[in-house]
Amino acid sequence: MDDRFQRQYFPLFTAPEAAPDADPDGDTFNNHSEYIAGTNPTNALSLLKIDSVVLNTNGSTLAWESAAGKRYQVFSRLDLDNALWQAVGAPVTAAGASTAFTDASATNGFRFYRVQALP
């Protein structure tokens, strides 16, 4: 993990709460995960999660909180027991604090999504 990330958020970057596996804001994402996602490790409301999925005539549009310049990959699967996660399209680079992505193949039916921040 980059020391600059720790120095940005913690007064003492060698403190226990600044450790990569610590989760000082209690949002279940440890500091290393927040570093990868570009989220704030001291704010429990700042985390990588899908905020909305809207089905429309163009497909399903997902939106999530993002960090400008970070790259994300969307995955989907048809069910949680048997199907494998499959990448949907190419990675997208966030332009700002929120990113939307439309899965044009998802115009009907039920599926699950996840968004991964790429290192």
Positions in the binding site for Ca ion (CB under 5 A)? 23, 25, 27, 29, 41
**Torsional class of 109: left (φ above 0), alpha (ψ -120 to 50), beta (otherwise):** left
| 27 vs 65 by CB, closer to Ca ion | 27
Residues 6 or more apart whose Cβ sits within 8 Å of residue 11: none
- Least spacing, CB of residue 33 vs Ca ion, in Å: 7
Rounded to an integer, what distance in angstroms lies between the CA atom of residue 95 and that of residue 68? 5
- Least spacing, CB of residue 108 vs Ca ion, in Å: 37
| 64 vs 101 by CB, closer to Ca ion | 64
- Least spacing, CB of residue 25 vs Ca ion, in Å: 4
| 1 vs 53 by CB, closer to Ca ion | 1
| 48 vs 62 by CB, closer to Ca ion | 48
- Least spacing, CB of residue 27 vs Ca ion, in Å: 4
